[in-house]
Chain A
Amino acid sequence: MSREGSKAAVGSLAHVGIAAKYNFLNYFRARRFYVMLAIILIIAGLLTALVGYYRPPGFVDGGALGFYGAGWGSFASIVVVLSAAFFGGDAISGEFQNRTGYFLVPNPIRRSAIYVGKWLAALAASTIILAVFALAMLANGLFYFPGNVPWEFVESFAFAWVYLVAAMSLAFAFSSLFKSSSISVLMSVILLLFVFSVIDTVSSLVAGIEPWFSLTYGAGIVSNILNVPYPAAKTVTPFGPGGRFTVVSYNATVPEGLLILLVYLVVMAVLGLILFERKEFTS
């Protein structure tokens, strides 16, 4: 019996597109997308209201660049972390815990195509969230400084997006590691919001070592680019009686920062994919 005429061979690239399309549709209609959007709009709304009412000097007295630095520069990384954790944190673990993998995986499609498709869908949903926040900040900036959008803000947005791509890879790796959705989301948030920051601080302040191995250290370029001049790569600040003690702080240069983000993107994407390929549907 031959049934060859009833269907055509589908390439893996096309499979990636199919997985991305339907996963994005699922994300876009899900409650979490609108919860995330609401969180971003609340942050943007609070910033708008507080700046409008109190006119803090850090926002309105430093020119357009200072405004974007205080608003976008301070909150973009948080938006990136929340988006990556929300959309990537359980992308793979959810296939196991929610049993949706039983519908998708036993089909003529490679796991790698599912992984990349889901990754692209989560990135697309997160990019919308990041763009909405950027637009809200841009609208505020144009209100206070009409017609003045610093090029550094555009660069900062681009760096924030690269950070999002790297953070998404990290979240997917965690998602592939754990079978529980809540644990993988929680681990992603804790790691991206707290653990890396602690590593950065301990490494530079206590050990005096440049934290080149930290994702958030690399992501420092998102806010640093909004400072003119760009912060020095290494700053030694004396303190205490007679300047007896010193505090060393490090800032990644733009090429260093991009390299760190790129390394995280590649290493975590490969690690996550290997974990997903090896993971078994045993429940």
Chain B
Amino acid sequence: MPPSIEARQLTKRYGQFTALSGLDLSIQGTKCVGFLGPNGAGKTTTMKILTGLIRATKGTALINGVDVASDKKAALSSCATLIETPEIYPSLTPKEALSMLCEIRGVPRQDRNKRIDDALARVKMSEWADKKVGGFSKGMKQRVNVASTLLSDPEVIILDEPSSGLDPRGMSEVRDIVLSLRDRLVFMSSHLLAEVTEVCQEVALIDHGKLLVYDTIENVTAKFAGGGGAAEVGFAGNVDEQLRARVSKLPGVTSTTKSNDRHLIVKYDTAVLTQDKLLESVAGLKAGAITFSQASGLEDAYLSLIKETL
């Protein structure tokens, strides 16, 4: 039976606030699926329900066909997880902490040391293997957390923003690790669309606790990226409404969206404008534009889908 993750009418309410609203999602087979959505969309809530950290108000979460709520132990027996940024008992060393997980997950005694050494080597933490975790930086702890998902040869791996807290080198290493796990089912949430594009074959996009789309990246991009082009422009200063309006009024620009304080995603009509002309126009504003890059198709689709739900 292929590995699987399934959410059936998954609902989670915190008082009046609905974090998940009847989420239906069925993922089967060995692949990497990116789980995308804005902050508060319900990504972490879904993953917490899948891993038994919280209970659903309604609905069912299944891993490999086993209901997590009724038998967490069986459901997670072939599943490794990394939810948010866990802390490890500060007086333990990475070797001891990983040994604890090996024992819990039933890794045979004779294999434990090798598995732990290999996992720590993959996250470049071998030389820290016998130091107490209490003195580690957030990034070092996250490396050990990533190592913890590699120990027991799991069929399903659930990763909630695995690059969180890591430096650029660490992020790149995590990407390589996730790429090497394509013979399993990896379900990974991330805000880094470039990372998702690089390592995932499929994406599930949710917003306001509801699934907007689940398909291959190619299909999502083809369906929702829309016609025209998109570019991300970085400015030296903060992007205010006045600046956004000036860019929006440029000939051929169809819409602008702030991606963060200093960046604008600019969508344009390719029949009117080419990328180099857009660059010239933006530079001509003399508004402090310092970077210009083509936005990915996934980013375009993401912005299109999220915008539609606002």
Q: How far is the CB of B46 from chain A (nearest CB, A)?
A: 13
**A244 interface residue (CB < 8 Å to B):** no
Q: Quick one: which of B122-151 are within 8 Å of A by CB?
A: 132, 145, 148
B3: chain A residues within 8 A (beta carbon): 1
Which of A21, A28, A101, A107 has the largest number of chain B CB atoms within 10 A? A107
Q: Is A100 touching B86 in the complex (CB atoms < 8 A)?
A: yes
Q: Quick one: which of A87-109 are within 8 Å of B by CB?
A: 98-109
A14: chain B residues within 8 A (beta carbon): 103
Find the A residue at minimum CB distance from B97: A103
Q: Is A105 touching B53 in the complex (CB atoms < 8 A)?
A: yes
Pick out which of these stretches binds chain A: B68-76, B232-240, B252-260, B297-305.
B68-76
Q: Mark A18-42, 1 if CB is under 8 A from B, else 0.
A: 1001110111111000000000000
**B104 interface residue (CB < 8 Å to A):** yes
Q: Is B107 touching A109 in the complex (CB atoms < 8 A)?
A: no
A101: chain B residues within 8 A (beta carbon): 53, 86
Q: Is B53 touching A280 in the complex (CB atoms < 8 A)?
A: yes
Q: How far is the CB of B182 from chain A (nearest CB, A)?
A: 12
Q: Is A108 touching B53 in the complex (CB atoms < 8 A)?
A: no
Which of B91, B111, B153, B154 is within 8 Å of A30, CB to CB?
B91
Which of B81, B86, B107 is within 8 Å of A7, CB to CB?
B107
**B191 interface residue (CB < 8 Å to A):** no
B106: chain A residues within 8 A (beta carbon): 7-10, 108
**A55 interface residue (CB < 8 Å to B):** no
Q: Mark B60-83, 1 if CB is under 8 A from A, else 0.
A: 000000000000111111110101
A107: chain B residues within 8 A (beta carbon): 76, 81, 101, 104-105
Q: How far is the CB of B136 from chain A (nearest CB, A)?
A: 13
**A281 interface residue (CB < 8 Å to B):** yes
Find the A residue at minimum CB distance from B141: A103
Which of B72, B79, B86, B152 is within 8 Å of A6, CB to CB?
B152
A18: chain B residues within 8 A (beta carbon): 100, 103-104
A1: chain B residues within 8 A (beta carbon): 2-3, 30, 155, 183-184
Which of A28, A29, A102, A105 is within 8 Å of B87, CB to CB?
A102
B183: chain A residues within 8 A (beta carbon): 1
B105: chain A residues within 8 A (beta carbon): 7, 10, 107-108
Q: How large is the interface on A (under 10, 10 to 19, 20 to 34, 35 or more residues)?
A: 35 or more
A110: chain B residues within 8 A (beta carbon): 72-73
A3-B155, A10-B104, A23-B89 known; A106+B77 contact, CB < 8 A:
no
**B267 interface residue (CB < 8 Å to A):** no
Q: How far is the CB of B100 from chain A (nearest CB, A)?
A: 4
Q: Is B154 touching A3 in the complex (CB atoms < 8 A)?
A: yes
**B108 interface residue (CB < 8 Å to A):** yes
Alpha-carbon distance between A111 and B87 when the two chains are bound, in angstroms: 18
Q: How large is the interface on B (under 10, 10 to 19, 20 to 34, 35 or more residues)?
A: 35 or more
Find the B residue at minimum CB distance from A23: B89
B152: chain A residues within 8 A (beta carbon): 6-7
B77: chain A residues within 8 A (beta carbon): 9, 108
A7-B153, A103-B148, A109-B104 known; A29+B91 contact, CB < 8 A:
yes
A100: chain B residues within 8 A (beta carbon): 86-89
Which of A28, A30, A98, A106 is within 8 Å of B81, CB to CB?
A106
A1-B2, A29-B132 known; A108+B90 contact, CB < 8 A:
no
**A179 interface residue (CB < 8 Å to B):** no
Q: Quick one: which of B90-121 are within 8 Å of A by CB?
A: 90-92, 96-97, 100-101, 103-108, 111
Which of A22, A28, A29, A281 is within 8 Å of B100, CB to CB?
A22
A9: chain B residues within 8 A (beta carbon): 77, 106
Alpha-carbon distance between A30 and B89 when the two chains are bound, in angstroms: 10
B2: chain A residues within 8 A (beta carbon): 1
Which of A6, A28, A103, A280 is within 8 Å of B153, CB to CB?
A6
Which of B75, B78, B91 is within 8 Å of A26, CB to CB?
B91
Q: Mark A98-140, 1 if CB is under 8 A from B, else 0.
A: 1111111111111100000000000000000000000000000
**B38 interface residue (CB < 8 Å to A):** no
Q: Is A281 touching B85 in the complex (CB atoms < 8 A)?
A: no
**B51 interface residue (CB < 8 Å to A):** yes
**B52 interface residue (CB < 8 Å to A):** yes
B92: chain A residues within 8 A (beta carbon): 22, 25-26, 29
Taking beta carbons and an 8 Å cutoff, which residues of A are in contact with B? 1, 3, 6-10, 12, 14-15, 18, 21-23, 25-30, 98-111, 280-282
Instruction: Name 24 A/B residue pairs within 8 A (Cβ), A-sorted.
Output: A1-B2, A1-B183, A3-B153, A7-B108, A7-B152, A8-B106, A10-B105, A12-B73, A22-B92, A22-B100, A23-B89, A25-B92, A26-B91, A27-B91, A102-B83, A103-B88, A103-B148, A104-B100, A105-B51, A106-B53, A108-B79, A110-B72, A110-B73, A281-B53
Additional pairs, 17, CB under 8 Å, beyond known A1-B183, A111-B72: A1-B155, A6-B107, A7-B106, A7-B108, A8-B106, A10-B105, A15-B104, A22-B89, A29-B92, A103-B148, A105-B53, A107-B81, A108-B77, A108-B105, A109-B73, A110-B73, A280-B48
